[in-house]
Structure 1
Amino acid sequence: MLRLSVCLLTLVSVPATAIADAVPTKEAAEEMFAERPFSPYANRSFPERPLWGDTHLHTGLSLDAGAFGNTLLPDDAWRFAKGEQVISSTGQPVRLARPLDWMVLTDHTDLMGFAPDLQAGKPGVLSDPKGLEWYEGYKAGGEEAGKAAFDIITNFSQMTLPEILLESYSPGADAFAFTWEQIVLAAEQHNDPGNFTAFIGFEWTSVPKGFNLHRNVMLRDGPIRALQVVPPVTQPPYGDTDPKTLYTWLEEYEAKTGGRAVAFAHNGNLSNGWMFPTEDTYHGGKVDEEYVQNRAKWEPHYEVTQIKGDGEAHPYLSPEDPFADYENWDVGNLDITELKTEDMLAGEYAREALKRGLMLEEKFGVNPYKFGMGGATDSHTSLVTAEEDNFFGKSVSVEPSPTRIEHPFIANDLGEIPGDLLVASGYTAVWATDNTRSAIFDAFKRRETYATTGPRIGLRFFGGWTFDDTDLETRFLADVGYTKGVPMGSDLRPRESDGAPKFLIGALRDPIGANLDRVQVVKGWLDADGALQEKVYNVAWSDDRALDADGNLPEVGNTVDIETASWSNTIGASELITVWTDPDFNPSERTFYYVRVLEIPTPRWVLYDKLRFGIDLPEEAQLIHQERAYSSPIWYTPGE
């Protein structure tokens, strides 16, 4: 006790100024310990956790969503995304299992402001015969409301909307400007830097001939810049469906406001080959130097999975890939006014687009399809539900009910997309340094994003030349990854030796989700003969399985109980990490690599419906699936 007392007295006797002088300032301390501080978390400048969000959501302000009966407005959508419970348009209480970290609200720009006036039966709408017809259908509800909504969509895609309605709800009209202000100010109200990021955005809805060429636009900015403009439309004489007109708007927005913006395409699977053109003509012109430069500049991201089908790969294009047949929609264009043919598929899927990008880069020196991967819901209910057991559908007409599976997404004399094919997908994870507009936007620009079909799978993917198995011994995988290589979305650093590229990969299951089946690397390249090639490698997997002579891996198994719509994590792994070296690397070939992570089988949303509503499902309905994640690619260019 005596010695302790002496020590305490000695400490107390030191002047406070002396202690202050002994402690360096924050700046001095960071410089002093810049090389290797004791705390492994100090001085970090790289993103440390994924931020989860959705780049594509519609409220009752959108033309189609409002016509289908969505009465929820931006405030409802923002509150729901942040974790609050809301009441859906069909009167059902609904809440997310976990809040999102950020979101882009993307109401359609064409006829902005029309839907609320239609629902209210405003005189300006009822004065037109078509407007009156649509209002009566909307008020009748049920099947009649659905017919009215699809008639609006048909008139929109065929550009036969009534002139008086176009004039009243297009740029220059008070209703259009008021609605845009409403959207902008709602986003600003809910933006909470550090906690939740609300992006100002919109959907540019180009659909010539019913071929989907839609783009979502995300602004990095707040209302001071956003309200200096109004968003572009596609209906003449106020706009055009050629993507060049959107690129011009984006250029003019940045020049006028000093702000920044990006665009995201989606659902190439409904474009009948027009989404990813090559040397052929496309809607509006040819794929020339101007086109590839503009697309490379303005579209750094692609929405690869969502409610209207998964767009990573297709079995016709990737016959050697047993997992390419996942939630494909390949009947026709958006409104099935033209059926799909096999020659269209190559212009529709992300993997093939990434390959085509290598070919166009060889020709023009610029890769227009050098995009990062993301997922979104494209929900028209104002509800960003991508959970299988919490799926509120595409539109109000297919919110949870005993009959919703009987409602096709679309059906006509040419074909049908049955209701059970809707996909409860997806989300985008962003590796951003902060939960702010600037940090998340910048992560999109550098393509440090990945997509999932709904689960919050953790995924790290780094490329370099010197990774080895000792790097797997640390729990600080990202520290090694950023130090020795580059993250997803990047170009490999210049080749350092005669070796092949090495990739450091880590996948972690969703904490409340299913175990992982396997990790795969998808490689695409342009060979010496100018032919586009691809190969899928199994690089890490769970349980006691082994690759066969062809590199194929046995199935993981299936624990799904059909009677209870449940599964058990008695198979699979909670974590899979590996260092993988490309065994077939050719340094003269342009190449990309991305990671696909598969979960063990789990129930689809239709099985939950069967259990909860006690209904019979169509015999062909798929009851289980393997959810997945897709990383953004890493590219290799010869000579760089």
Structure 2
Amino acid sequence: MHKIFSSAIMAVIGLSFTGLSHASESDQSLAEQKLLYSTPVRENLTNLYWGDLHLHSQLSADAYILQTRLTKDQAFEFARGQTVQADNGMPARLRRPLDFLAVTDHAEYLGIYAQLEVNDPRLKEWKMGMEWQEMMKQGDMMGLALAFSNAIQTSEPEYLTPDSLRRSIWSEASEVADKYNEPGLFTAFVGYEWTSMITGDNLHRVVIYKEGAELAAQHTPFSAQHSNDPEDLWDALADYEKQTGGEVIAIAHNGNVSNGRMFSPNRENGLPLDASYARKRARWEPVYETTQIKGDGEAHPYLSPDDEFADFETWDEGNITLGTDKKPEMLQYEYTRSALREGLRHEANLGTNPFKFGLIGSTDSHTGMATTYEDNFFGKFAHDEPSVDRTEKRMADQLQKIWQLVSSGLTAAWSEENTRESIFDAIKRREVYATSGTRIKLRFFGGWEYEQADVLSADYASIGYAKGVPMGGDLTRGPAAKAPRFMVAATRDPDGANLDRVQIIKGWLNASGETAEQIFDVALSDGRKKNWLTGEIPAVGNTVDSENVTYRNSIGAAELTAVWTDPEFDPDQRAFYYARVIQIPTPRWTAYDEKYFGAEIDPRAPKTIQDRAYSSPIWYTP
């Protein structure tokens, strides 16, 4: 799947100032004590909620062109556990409902194609709309798709949706989210997608609102037709907050198809990143969508040749349109781990880390259905939905083969309650994590005082908050001669596979200004040990029955925990740490298609997968 790099395979209360509490007065004076943790005092522990922050319905122009007819209402109903009829005629239902959802239809021509088909009289005076309506009548959907692709990158007046219609459709779309939002039961966010792709290089962001339609509908979405520069998007978000008093964030995705633009060292105007840019990006983009249907973006084997799990659902053929091939030098500006490393370097030079983001997953499905389990994957567009021949089709009829699509991903949020306000705040403080579609439960804390027994306590989360910071938090210089300790606990998806291992991945900036990374296996299932001569760890094994498309949880562990101390800690070096949890092998969705339909699957298509979870990082700053 990566055509040019085959040679590279390779709490009750959370105290914010207790880190020095064990030092005697003779050891350390009160004047020497300093703030070690960034989290606020907590009165309530957090609960785990699952959701998708990037989903499309028939209101998105590309989805509509490619035959998606599920509405925004149906998208929310499906997420809440109701059965819907997919566009291929099959009944579809989630095994377990989601806790929250954002339907983020494209801002560009939001809802327009659906209105053209029903002959909305408000479009009669719009010349472009009439031309597109004629294409619809003639069944020229590919011509319509090309016209849409060209139009979204221009700001010429004749290509813009009439303002009154944009306002009306946006207001109606926002109100749908309000209709399904039930505080304490289900959170429905208002959102949209800003669809910038300069010369086919992906810079897309979804925009998520904290409040509902009453505030969100006061401003129509900022689209790529207004500007394809993310700095202009951030300015528009600032204007929204200033004028409404509401809150909003942007979430970037698919750096892997940006051909080096997503985390470039230069701004879109060609100038190097500066302090103002760094502050704005850190302010408006607190999390990054690291895994989704168009590939996993955590790491790449070319960048991390010593990481045996880096080559996971890799998309590296070119940009989002496949109009420009990928070059090796682009990769370091496309992937999560390398961006986190670059962020340390920028912070040292600019005073602010522009890439200080937490990690989430979402689907980017354009079917109106957030499906992430391998045995219930309904694809990206309606024509990707289950069928005997779907794996040999191409995405949008012209891009990657459908078998390359990934049944990913989900956002897990540690939030005090299931409400817009609480989950939004969890996202902003980065107390969230990503999975490739599985529902692994993952806690990750960092501090200076954790003991091995802490993670075995029934209230280990309380201890985690009291002694340190959760995922997404910050550590500053600690007690003399101490290295940070990290407490991690992972539990398998109740409906899924056992766990292979837990790893902590560290990145740091050395004195010469160079960054590096290292992977530490901190918890292994089945009593496996690292061979200290070779550095190798035996594989967990594989129970997948290819003929029957099943697996057994006779290997791996239902739960893995660890308290780990960084053995190579340098208190003078900026660093980040995040946890990665790997499942045992299970059948991939392509194997289920092969069994269910008797389909012939491309021999290049993987038949097994090791799903995973990625915590948001914890940063150390001297």
Normalising by structure 2, what TM-score?
0.90
Taking a change above 3 Å as real, the CA distance of residues 389 and 162 of structure 1, as seen in their structure-2 partners, is farther
Mapping of 1:620-631 within 5 angstroms?
620-631=604-615
Match for residue 88 of structure 1? 86
How far apart, in 1, do the equivalents of 2:484 and 2:602 lie? 48
| One of 156, 174, 190 as aligned partner of 2:180 | 190
Structure 1 residue 564, shift from structure 2 partner? 1.1
Q: Give the Å deviation of 1:148.
A: 3.7
- Provide the C-alpha distance between the structure 2 equivalents of 1:149 and 1:488, rounded to a whole number of angstroms: 45
1:558 and 2:542 matched: yes
Query: Residue in 1 aligned with 2:218?
Result: 228
Q: Is the 8 A contact 2:136 2:144 kept in 1?
A: no
Q: Give the one of 322, 327, 330 matched to 2:313.
A: 327
Find the residue that maps to 2:474 and give its secondary structure. Answer: coil
Whether 1:432 and 2:422 are equivalent positions in the alignment is: no
Once residues 178 and 89 of structure 1 are traced to their aligned partners in structure 2, the CA distance between those partners, rounded to angstroms, is 27
* Alignment-derived partner of residue 200 in structure 2: 210
CA distance in 1, matches of 2:537, 2:79: 39
Tell me which residue corresponds to 1:135. Answer: 136
Q: Please report how far the alpha carbon of residue 411 of structure 1 lies from its aligned counterpart in structure 2 after TM superposition.
A: 7.1
From 416, 424, 449, the equivalent of 1:441 is 424
Q: What's the offset of the Cα at 1:284? A: 6.4
| Residue equivalent to 2:363 | 377
Summarize deviations over 1:601-624 as a string: whole Å, max 9, x none. 001111111111011111111000
Instruction: State the SS of the aligned residue for 1:492.
Output: strand
Shift of 1:162: 8.6
SS at match of 2:54: coil
Closer, same or farther in 2 for the Cα pair 1:54/1:583, shift >3 Å? Answer: same
1:345 correspondence with 2:331: yes
2:269 and 2:185 mapped to 1: Cα distance?
42
Structure 2: runs of 5+ lacking an equivalent = 1-12, 14-40
Unpaired runs of 5+ residues, structure 1, are 1-29, 31-42
Q: Shift of residue 121 of structure 1? A: 5.4
Which 10-residue stretch deviates more, 284-293 or 79-88? 284-293
In the alignment, what sits opposite 2:150? 155
Secondary structure of the residue that 1:540 maps to in structure 2? strand
Alpha carbons 2:525, 2:556 under 8 Å: kept: yes
Partner of 2:552: 568
TM-align CA RMSD: 2.0
Following TM superposition, by how much is the alpha carbon of 1:183 offset from its aligned partner in structure 2, in angstroms? 1.0
Q: Which has the larger radius of gyration?
A: 1
Moved more, 240-249 or 469-478: 469-478
Deviates more, 1:218-227 or 1:373-382: 218-227
- Per-residue CA deviation, residues 386-445 of structure 1 (Å, 9 max, x unaligned), is 111111100011111111111122676xxx522100000000000000100110011011
User: In the aligned structure 1, how far is the partner of 2:563 from the partner of 2:473?
Assistant: 18
The letter for the 1-side match of 2:91 is P
8 Å contact from structure 1 (residues 464, 493) kept in 2: no
1:507 is aligned, of 490, 494, 499, to 490
Going from structure 1 to structure 2, the CA distance change for 1:285 and 1:114 (only over 3 Å counts) comes to farther
> Could you say what secondary structure the match of 2:606 adopts?
coil
In structure 2, distance between residues paired with 1:230 and 1:158: 18
The residue aligned with 2:228 is 241
Cα gap change, 1:590 to 1:553, in 2 (>3 Å): same
Match in the other structure for 2:18: none
Contact 2:45 2:462 in 1 (8 A): no
Shift of 1:47: 3.5
Higher relative CO (Cα under 8 Å, sequence separation at least 6) belongs to 2
Cα distance change of structure 1 residues 562 and 577 upon mapping to structure 2, 3 Å threshold: same
> In the alignment, is the contact (CA less than 8 A) between 1:201 and 1:218 conserved in 2?
yes
What SS class does the counterpart of residue 359 from structure 1 fall into? Answer: helix
Q: Secondary structure at the match of 1:253?
A: helix
Change (3 A) 1:200 1:478: same
TM-superposed deviation, 1:232:
0.7
Q: After superposition, what is the alpha-carbon deviation per residue over 1:6-64, rounded to whole angstroms, capped at 9, x for unaligned? A: xxxxxxxxxxxxxxxxxxxxxxxx9xxxxxxxxxxxx9834342100001001100111
Aligned length, in residue pairs: 579
Q: Match for residue 167 of structure 2?
A: 177
Is residue 242–residue 284 contact of structure 1 (8 Å, CA) maintained in 2?
no
In structure 1, C-alpha distance between the alignment counterparts of 2:616 and 2:607, rounded to whole Å: 29
- Give, in angstroms, the shift of residue 204 of structure 1: 0.8
Tell me: CA distance 1:329–1:467, structure 2 relative to 1, closer, same or farther (3 Å).
same
Which residue of the partner structure matches residue 248 of structure 2? 261
Q: What is the alpha-carbon distance in structure 1 between the residues aligned to residue 248 and residue 357 of structure 2?
A: 15
Change (3 A) 1:597 1:436: same
Indicate how the Cα distance of structure 1 residues 571 and 190 shifts in structure 2: closer, same or farther if over 3 A, else same.
Answer: same
Shift of residue 546, structure 1, vs aligned partner: 1.0
- The equivalent of 2:576 in structure 1 is 592
CA contact (8 A) 2:455 2:488 kept: no
Once the two structures are TM-superposed, the CA of residue 494 in structure 1 deviates from its matched residue by: 4.1
SS in 2 for 1:302: strand
AA partner of residue 409 (structure 1): M
In structure 2, what residue type is equivalent to 1:274? R
- Counterpart contact for 1:57–1:378, Cα < 8 Å: yes
Task: Calculate the TM-score normalised by the size of structure 1.
Answer: 0.87
1:436-481 residue CA offsets vs partner (Å, 9 max, x unmatched): 0110011011100000011110000000111121213312210111
Cα distance in structure 1, aligned partners of 2:320 and 2:571? 41
- Deviation string 1:50-84 (CA, Å, 9 cap, x unpaired) is 10000100110011111111111111111111111
1:340, CA displacement in angstroms? 0.6
Deviation at 1:277, TM superposition (A): 1.5
SS class of match (2:434): strand
Letter in 2 for 1:230: T
Q: Cα gap change, 1:61/1:629 in structure 2, threshold over 3 Å: closer, same or farther? A: same
Q: Report what 1:27 is aligned to.
A: none
Distance 1:475 1:552, change over 3 A: farther
Deviation string, structure 1 residues 212-257 (Cα, Å, up to 9, x no partner): 101111111122211221111111xxx0101111111111011000
CA drift at 1:90: 2.5
Of 566, 582, 597, which residue of structure 2 is paired with 1:582? 566
Structure 1 SS opposite 2:466: helix
Rounded Cα–Cα distance in structure 2 between residues aligned with 1:127 and 1:524: 54
Q: Does 1:521 align with 2:504?
A: yes
> SS at the partner of 2:202?
coil
* Structure 2 residue identity aligned to 1:259: G
Give the share of equivalent positions with the same residue, in percent.
47
Aligned residue for 1:304? Answer: 290
Range with greater deviation from structure 2 (329-338 or 492-501): 492-501
- Distance in 2, matches of 1:379 and 1:632, equals 23
Taking the aligned partners of 1:47 and 1:244, their CA distance within structure 2 comes to 36
Paired letter, 2:80: K
